[in-house]
Amino acid sequence: MFDTRWYLRAVAPLWPLGFVAILAGWMTTEIGRQPWIAHGILRTADAVSPVPYSSVATSLIAFIVVYTVVFGMGVLHIARLLKRGPVGATQSPEHALPNRPLAAAQAAEKSPPS
Amino acid sequence: MSPLEYSLPVIWALIIGTAVALYVVLDGFDLGVGILFPFFPEEPRRDLMMNSIAPYWDGNETWLVLGGGGLWVAFPLAYSVIMPALYLPIITMLLALIFRGVAFEFRWVAKPHHRKWDIAFTSGSIVAAFSQGLVLGGLLQGIRIENNAFAGGAFDWLTPFSLMIGAGLVIGYALIGAGWLILKTSGDVQARARRFARPLLLMVLAVVAVVSVWTPLAIPRIGERWFVMPNIVYLAPVPVITALVGWWCWCAIGRGTSVQPFLAAVTLFLLAYVGLIISNVPYLVPPSIDVWQAAAAPASQVFMLIGTVILLPIVLGYSAFVYWVFRGKVDDKAGYH
């Protein structure tokens, strides 16, 4: 699994899926509960604040622009970090607490099963 | 009004008031460091400045969440009036905080092409501070209300007064930021922060003086609060102490220890805050909605109070712990991003 070339090649570009899953779950709850903003208590249409449409439209566009820029740059930076790969040698902590997973892992590393 | 109905809103007003004060002082210094960025053009200086606030800034901003969230659950009427009335400056502040927040992370990743994130950091800090001043100014000058709802226009907050408060807050945050740099850095950055601090202090004192003269003259309610007997006697120490603290800050910037200029600047901010509270108590939305009118049902307030009483000491505890862990001066090599 760790050195099957075709498999790794297929898995490598899948890192955004976690973000997609979070956003999809969020959209499911928010869209799915309409027309209620508090289910059975208050309808979204009745909860609207006295803010003019022009203000709401302006802020919505501003949010879309800002999120596009920030998300776009974020995706770019993450992709660049992934491409660069881990920098420096991987280090293992020197003193793990006894009876913890880390200590067990270190012990296993020192005496590989024969 | 039962004792419970009287005291619960007072307790909540104290909690929210404390959260806002903590926010202004704590996020004030890290926004201030962002505002001062243009005066320190060299990359290593900027790295140092950013490292001096990196462990704290997001913790500092949680007090804004407690202030806003607290207002929502404890005083829903005030929340439903203030938020629509000040919609545009509040949204602008949030967008600015987004840019500033991501700049902390992206700036290091983007190196050596990090210039755009320096700009995002500075402009985000300035716009966020200015918007907060607009919010404060808009709230102080009064909001038009009919039938317990906001009844004004989208730009009611835009007046010479709110613009002045906005500029004043940018300068004020820059002063606390300079105090923070004197406290947390040494060498060139500290020396330059000391040089910038005095003009900033003079400008802050000028804004405080203008507000202290302007608001009592423009708003009779505030004039009566301060200048009627016996209030004038009881309240006279506030401006006197403010002037003395201003003098202390001036001297401390010149030859005080590392910690004194920061302490003096923070004290100055808190005194200005106390002055604003004296002018406006017991109103949450001056001059129409007071804390009792705006209060949620006692059951809601008690329910939220139980959670707050348990969680607030924990939050205060770990915040203090973070400041303790990262105490002392930052050096050129360490990074906490």
Q: pTM, whole model, 2 decimals?
A: 0.88
Work out the average pLDDT over B25-49. 94
Q: How many CB atoms lie within 10 A of CB A78?
A: 14
Give the domain range for residue A82: 51-86
Is the same domain home to A56 and A72? yes
Query: Is A112 among the domain residues?
Result: no
The end-to-end CA distance of chain B, in Å, is 52
Spatial contact of B149 and A50, defined as CB atoms under 8 Å apart: yes
Burial B68-98 (b: 16+ CB within 10 A, else e): bebbebbbebbbbbbbbbbbbbbbbbbbbbb
C-alpha pair distances (Å), B281 with each of B3, B214, B236: 19, 18, 17
Chain segment B191-215, per-residue pLDDT in tens:
999 999 999 999 999 999 999 999 9
Record: contact B110-A55, CB cut-off 8 A: no
Number of domains in chain A: 2
The residue among B73, B81, B102 with the most chain A CBs within 10 A of its CB, best to mutate, is B102
Which residues in chain A show pLDDT less than 70?
Answer: 88-114
Is the same domain home to A30 and A10? yes
Q: Which residues does B contribute to its contact with A (CB < 8 Å)?
A: 80, 83-84, 87-88, 91, 95, 98-99, 102, 106, 109-110, 149-151, 153-154
Query: CA-based Rg of chain A, rounded to a whole angstrom?
Result: 24
Residues of A in contact with B84 (CB under 8 A): 49-51
β-bridge mates for residue B283, sequence order: B290
The answer for residues whose C-beta is within 8 angstroms of residue B207's C-beta and 6 or more apart is B164, B165, B167, B168, B171, B172
Is the same domain home to A62 and A42? no
Is the same domain home to A80 and A39? no
Residue at token pair 């005194």: B271
ipTM surpasses 0.90: no
Query: Is A18 among the domain residues?
Result: yes
Concatenate the DSSP letters of all residues of A9-48 into one string: HHHGGGTTHHHHHHHHHHHHHHHHTTTEEETTTEEGGGG-
Is the same domain home to A16 and A28? yes
Query: Is A1 among the domain residues?
Result: yes
Is the same domain home to A58 and A43? no
C-alpha dihedral sign at B150, B71, B58, B272: positive
pLDDT at residue B333, as a whole number: 63
Work out the average pLDDT over B305-330. 92
Is the same domain home to A10 and A27? yes
pLDDT at residue A99, as a whole number: 54
Is the same domain home to A39 and A20? yes
Query: Is A107 among the domain residues?
Result: no
Q: Where are the alpha helices (DSSP H) in B56-159?
A: 57-74, 76-85, 87-110, 115-141
Taking all residues of chain B, what is their mean pLDDT, rounded to a whole number? Answer: 92
pLDDT at residue A80, as a whole number: 84
The shortest CB-CB distance from B98 to any of A52, A59, A70 is to A70
The one-letter code for the residue type at B189 is: V
Three-class SS state of A50: coil
Residues of B in contact with A64 (CB under 8 A): none
Is the same domain home to A35 and A72? no
Chain segment B54-68, per-residue pLDDT in tens:
999 989 999 999 999
Residue at token pair 């910038």: B196
Is the same domain home to A5 and A42? yes
What gap in Å lies between CA B76 and CA A98, rounded to an integer? 52
Query: Is A108 among the domain residues?
Result: no
Is the same domain home to A55 and A43? no
Query: Is A114 among the domain residues?
Result: no
Work out the average pLDDT over B134-162. 92
Report the run of H or E that residue B3 belongs to, with start and end.
helix B3-36
What is residue A94's DSSP assignment? S
Residue at token pair 């009919």: B146
What gap in Å lies between CA B152 and CA B82, rounded to an integer? 11
pLDDT at residue B169, as a whole number: 96
Query: Is A97 among the domain residues?
Result: no
CA angle, residues B207, B93, B145, in degrees to nearest 5: 80
Query: Is A40 among the domain residues?
Result: yes
Residue B26 has pLDDT above 90, yes or no: yes
pLDDT at residue A13, as a whole number: 84
Q: Is B129 exposed, middle or buried (0-12, 13-18, 19+ CB in 10 A)?
A: buried
Record: contact B91-A59, CB cut-off 8 A: yes
Bridge-based pairing state of the strands A42-43 and A36-38: antiparallel
To the nearest whole Å, the CA of B247 is away from the closest chain A CA by 43
